[in-house]
Structure 1
Amino acid sequence: MSALNIKKGSTSHSAYDLRDPHAEIAGRHTLTVLTDNDPGVLARVAGLFTGRGYNIESLTVAEVDHKGHLSRFTIVTTGTPTVIEQIKAQLGRIVPVHEVHDLTVEGASVERELALFKVAGTGEKRVEALRLADIFRANVVDSTLESFVFEITGTPEKIDAFADLMRPLGLADVARTGVAALPRGI
């Protein structure tokens, strides 16, 4: 370590880039998994991640075909390309799984998340919260004299940005659905 507590070669901008050029870089991936809508499938999918030490950053599940009794899992996880391939292969081996797709590498996709924010405040902070909500196209779904509940949809980055701006204005509580995603086009 140098006197400034900066590791040499810790970034590609360093004059002495000491990183292994062949090392795989972990990245965020959005996976969609089409499964039978049967009891225990969620536990089996979550167990696959837990048993191998993989983290699920976001998980949404809902029945998407009532006649065919099919559910779609949208899973956001982080890993190297090798780890992501292992996850996809292991998911594909679970009996009720029909399809596994990595939307991050398969092409353009649409990702959205829904969040509810309770913001408590009075006076100028209350006015500023309403102004920012309007900029972010957030809807007021509940209001009292002391607080608002805002509903906002968008990318996870948009939701994070809104949360960062609401914290100093009295952010009291947050509920997020997790990412829902589909590939673009046909």
Structure 2
Amino acid sequence: MKSLFIILLFLSQSIFCQKYFTRTGSTEFKASVDTFEPVEAKNNSTTVILNTQNGEIASLLLINAFRFRLALMQEHFNENYMDSDEFPKATFTGKIHNFNINEIVSEKDYKITGILNVRGINKEIVTLSKVIKTGNNIFLKSTFSVKPQDFNIKIPSIVRNKIAESVIITINYELSEKK
């Protein structure tokens, strides 16, 4: 009888817990300084899951999936700065505060807090996000900045003046209901 109760409890939680996800989320960064070659890249394979019951959100991306305009920049990024062989992924786990899927009629702003892990180092992130619900999809957009030194990313002095002190991260996710 006890095991039947546990199974029913587990099933009821999974039935009422709506999750939205994507495997094709867009994450971009810009670390450009005016008058120099643009330092920017885009990753279109960010995996994201959102629990609409409690606003918990998690994302994962592979570092070597960032695409640059110049192949040499991409090589330097992976080998010299991000050490993507040793640290192949970045993650974010956090919460969209006061999230209520039923309140999203048009675009709505939400505060997101969580932990960004890059190169094995955790950094607390606080940002605002725009959330839009259209049909069966949720669109989530946000921009925030981080500093390379927060993740022990060493910028050689020869290129230090060509890379911004703060890197602008832009996320753009279209999440579909997980069935």
* TM-score, length-scaled by structure 1: 0.24
More strand by share: 2
More helix by share: 1
Bigger-Rg structure (1/2): 1
* TM-score, length-scaled by structure 2: 0.25
